[in-house]
Structure 1
Amino acid sequence: MPLSPLPRVMLEPAVRAALLEDLGRAGDITTDALVPPGLRTETALVARQPGVVAGLDLARLAFELIEPGIAIAVERPDGSAVAPGDVIALVRGPARGVLTAERTALNFLSHLSGVATVTASIVHAVRTHRARICCTRKTTPGLRAFEKHAVRAGGGSNHRFGLDDAVLIKDNHVAVVGGIRPAIARARAAVGHLVKVEVEVDSLDQLDEALEAGVDAVLLDNMGPETLARAVERVAGRAVTEASGRITPATAEAVAASGVDLISVGWLTHSAPVLDIGLDHRT
């Protein structure tokens, strides 16, 4: 399915804040000093390395908020694979606006394309299995919706967006409450009937306890492939199974082979390297 864009109302506060941070108290004094007001230019957003594009709507908005007269012609939309030298988009308009918005636009585009690229790499690693790759809440503050959108651009799926859209009972919750059973019972009594309940377990004994209490999903934390396979067998379709814990493209295939439904990977959003993208002047 085509990747649906995020609404502008979600993008604009973040882009405005980033531009204001860069403009400071006096605006772009370098560009204003060097570039005549009426000069126009054509530039291209160009990939310097292979990857997957994400964040174009944020980059576009950065240019448009600085100068509404700038036009963006997208060549490779979010979710597209690119090779070095590929033109992602053409940027035409007043040169002052293009140069002033350049860094903010590239910051969003390079970071989010980096997230999409590493997601695509691990999605590719498990392509022969049913497991879906999903992100976590380990996101950059203020950028969560954008980073999760970038995960989808890379072929991944999203875990919960925040603390309010699902119950995830972690080890510290269990320790504070005094056990898995009372934790599940309290959660079921407190939330609505449409809210899913997931429990983190790190042993097969804990898994059995969670299944007996009744859960929608189990987070199988830091289990090796053999233990994961035994866990999936014990679940036997009674709950969604999710593997988590230091999973990399090199280890993901073995994890997926265990039969889990989901593999959650925090570093997709908190440690993805940027994709090298440049803005090249043409005329």
Structure 2
Amino acid sequence: MEETGLNIQELEYIIEHAFREDIQDGDITTNNLVPETTTAKARMTAKADGVIAGLPIAKLVFKKLDPNIEWTPNFKDGDFIKKGDVIVEISGTFRALLSGERLALNLMQRMSGIATETAKYVAEVKNTKVKILDTRKTVPGLRSLDKYAVKAGGGTNHRIGLYDMVMIKDNHIKIAGNITTAVEQIRKSIPKNIKVEVETTNLNEVREAVAAGADIIMLDNMSNEIMAQAVKIINNTALSEASGNMSLPRLKGVAETGVDFISIGALTHSVVALDISQNIIL
């Protein structure tokens, strides 16, 4: 989908699955009250301040129900909106506007909540080199939308899944015996362009990960003081990622340690949806 950079087939699959869940053979309330050809207008309005995300996806929802829908947005994804702002005006069949409302809002509200939360974290480190990363703590089946929303909020996507980057964590290290063996074994089997990240929990593990040639070294659940020492040990031989209990109040202190990235599961795993309403204009 050109407007988002998202895969159109994947988006259509998500929407079709949601239609099967919510509409199936038809909206029996709307379809038995409203003639098929009746048209109407609707507005989506912000009921809270935040960063909007998901407008092209919501548009696709309505387009699936009414190919002739008219979509007039007043904002674009990534824009800051204030309570009371009219986000978009929609014209089309009454049936499409009502039947698509909940799905469109559910997706936009979640995505906008993620974008809004991400923007808060990004703002905390705006005067540093640090980039805010997301994680795999997303809703199953909606990861592409969750990660798109992170980008709309100014964040950076980490690996998309288990297939596009190596992440050697504590349990992998246990089975391999040590960090060095784990990295060596994996390097033998993967293309050279695949990045290898290693999770570390202490300075000795950081030293071993550096010696093993890791591309990215995760500093997991370390104090700020230990992270600062770890960054000095790494000394630009690899990128560094702070992870674990990365709360908003702690962010500036973590950024000051010199890490390159801070990964935050809370961007997606427990997001509060941004309140948006849709109302028919009679």
Q: TM-score, normalised by structure 2?
A: 0.96
The range that moved more, 53-62 or 102-111, is: 53-62
Query: 1:37 deviation in Å?
Result: 2.5
Aligned residue in 2 for 1:71: 70
- The aligned amino acid for 1:214 is G
Query: 1:38 deviation in Å?
Result: 2.7
Deviation per CA, 1:155-184: give whole Å up to 9, x if none: 000000011111110001001111111101
Name the CA distance, whole Å, in 2 between partners of 1:197 and 1:36: 58
Helix, strand or coil for the counterpart of 1:34? coil
- The aligned amino acid for 2:120 is S
Q: What are structure 2's unaligned runs of at least 5 residues?
A: none
Matches within 5 A, 1:12-27: 12-24=12-24, 26-27=25-26
Name the CA distance, whole Å, in 2 between partners of 1:216 and 1:16: 39
The range that moved more, 195-204 or 52-61, is: 52-61
Aligned residue in 1 for 2:11: 11
Deviation per CA, 1:183-211: give whole Å up to 9, x if none: 01101111111111110000001100111
Aligned residue in 1 for 2:237: 238
**1:263 partnered with 2:262:** yes
Query: 1:36 deviation in Å?
Result: 2.7
Name the CA distance, whole Å, in 2 between partners of 1:8 and 1:54: 17
Matches within 5 A, 1:214-225: 214-225=213-224
The range that moved more, 254-263 or 8-17, is: 8-17
CA contact (8 A) 1:114 1:273 kept: yes
Name the CA distance, whole Å, in 1 between partners of 2:62 and 2:253: 44
Aligned residue in 2 for 1:209: 208
Name the CA distance, whole Å, in 1 between partners of 2:7 and 2:176: 40
- The aligned amino acid for 1:167 is V
Helix, strand or coil for the counterpart of 1:152? helix
Name the CA distance, whole Å, in 1 between partners of 2:179 and 2:6: 38
Name the CA distance, whole Å, in 2 between partners of 1:4 and 1:140: 19
**1:41 partnered with 2:40:** yes
Name the CA distance, whole Å, in 1 between partners of 2:108 and 2:256: 34
- The aligned amino acid for 1:156 is G
Name the CA distance, whole Å, in 1 between partners of 2:37 and 2:191: 59
Aligned residue in 1 for 2:55: 56
Query: 1:104 deviation in Å?
Result: 0.5
Root mean square deviation of aligned Cα: 1.4
CA contact (8 A) 2:4 2:56 kept: no
Query: 1:234 deviation in Å?
Result: 1.1
The runs of at least 4 aligned residues of structure 1 exceeding 3 Å deviation read: none
Name the CA distance, whole Å, in 1 between partners of 2:16 and 2:75: 24
- The aligned amino acid for 1:20 is R
Identity, % of aligned pairs?
42
CA contact (8 A) 1:51 1:275 kept: yes
CA contact (8 A) 2:78 2:153 kept: yes
Name the CA distance, whole Å, in 1 between partners of 2:20 and 2:154: 32
Helix, strand or coil for the counterpart of 1:187? helix
Q: TM-score, normalised by structure 1?
A: 0.96
Query: 1:227 deviation in Å?
Result: 1.1
**1:80 partnered with 2:79:** yes
Query: 1:6 deviation in Å?
Result: 1.9
Name the CA distance, whole Å, in 1 between partners of 2:5 and 2:280: 27
- The aligned amino acid for 1:210 is A
Aligned residue in 2 for 1:252: 251
Name the CA distance, whole Å, in 2 between partners of 1:60 and 1:273: 22
Name the CA distance, whole Å, in 2 between partners of 1:241 and 1:4: 29
Deviation per CA, 1:14-72: give whole Å up to 9, x if none: 01111121013x41111112223332111111111011111112211111111212211
